Amino acid sequence: MKALITGITGQDGAYLTRLLIEKGYEVHGTIRRSSTVNTKRIDDILSKYEKTGGLTLHYSDLLDSASTSSLINNITPDEVYNLAAQSHVAVSFENPVYTTQVGTLGSVSILEAIRSANKDIKYYQASSSEMYGGNSKDKLNEDSKFSPKSPYAASKVFAHNMTTIYRQSYGIHAVNGILFNHESPVRGETFVTRKITKAVGRISQGIQSKLTLGNLDAVRDWGFAGDFVEGMWLMMQHKEPEDWVLATGIPCSVKEFLDKAFNLIDLNWSDYVEVSESYFRPNEVDYLLGDYSKAKKELNWEPKTSLDDLVQMMVDNDIHEAKQESVLLKEGLIEPTWENPVSK
């Protein structure tokens, strides 16, 4: 089996790559031509499998439909996982054109390439809980109404709908995975959960004094990325292509996440956290909670990792990284790149 993953260097791409290689897949991934290509999340498996052909990276631009079509024709994958996106909601307000282009044209380029090359290729579209807009405190499922509140969410709704259209119109095995927030020790450091656990690590080592955040009352449904990529794969194996929500069904506010993280180093988060209006979104999404009952029933999927275990995993990792940073700072080998560093 061969799989093509767009966005392979991101959090989900890294976890999915490991899962597929464990299952015996030949994995291909796309990266953009850039002077700052970051393969850190997959460097260990890249060095192990690149020479044997188990993992191959390809330069490709999803906004170039000819390039996308050529890539799919050359690789002839059995499955395509479209994970590529400008995935930071706040940044989508600052750069709405690029966010929209990648989220919309990228997905259509892949779907059209599949339609032209081989309709038997299976397609996974990474949809998002942000599409719902957070207007309700009810648990949200596959039938809940979309009400996007950001350029990122709007682009995801478009890609979601186009995936459905290609499934219905051309008989392509195209599925939408509506994933609620999923985190890990390799989550991007600008996402609130990782920003918190990175700060906890650095504060514990005395190299950061404060943490600045936005809306502390926002409620999310946070799971572990490693569990969620398994759900992605299960969707592609299902006999009939459909849409599924992946979530934990457990609400947690940013304040509650702070509690869990700072308690692990026996500190009170309120002594270290400052709120800044600059970190609030122009259009806040206050509450997102998922209902994964369809995935449980049809895919036999459910989250395996508790939120407490997830927070522990992330904090342990970031304390370890902060210890390394502390040593390098003392030796003058690095300068702090984070907010509110402690002067030594």
CB 52 within 8 A of CB 65: no
Return the SS3 of 198. Answer: helix
| Phi, psi of 153, rounded to the nearest 5 degrees | -65, -40
Q: Which two tokens stand for residue 270?
A: 């309120």
CA distances from 214 to 180, 211, 268, 276, 307 (A): 20, 10, 18, 6, 21
Dist. CA 25–CA 10, nearest whole Å = 19
* E strand residue ranges, 165-232: 174-179, 182-183, 211-213, 219-220, 223-224
Q: Say if residues 22 and 1 touch (Cβ distance below 8 Å).
A: no
What single string gives the DSSP state of each residue in 152-169?
HHHHHHHHHHHHHHHHHH
d(CA 160, CA 99): 15
Q: Which of the residues are catalytic?
A: 128, 130, 152
- How far apart, in Å, are the Cα atoms of 244 and each of 178, 180, 211, 238? 6, 11, 36, 11
HSE-CB of 218 using CA atoms within 13 angstroms: 23
3-state helix, strand, coil in the chain (%, to 5): 45, 15, 40
Per the listing, tokens 């395996």 go with 304
Instruction: For residues 17 and 9, give the distance between their C-alpha atoms in angstroms, rounded to a whole number.
Output: 9
Cβ-Cβ contacts under 8 Å for 247 (sequence gap 6 or more): 129, 179, 180, 221, 223, 289, 290, 291, 292, 303
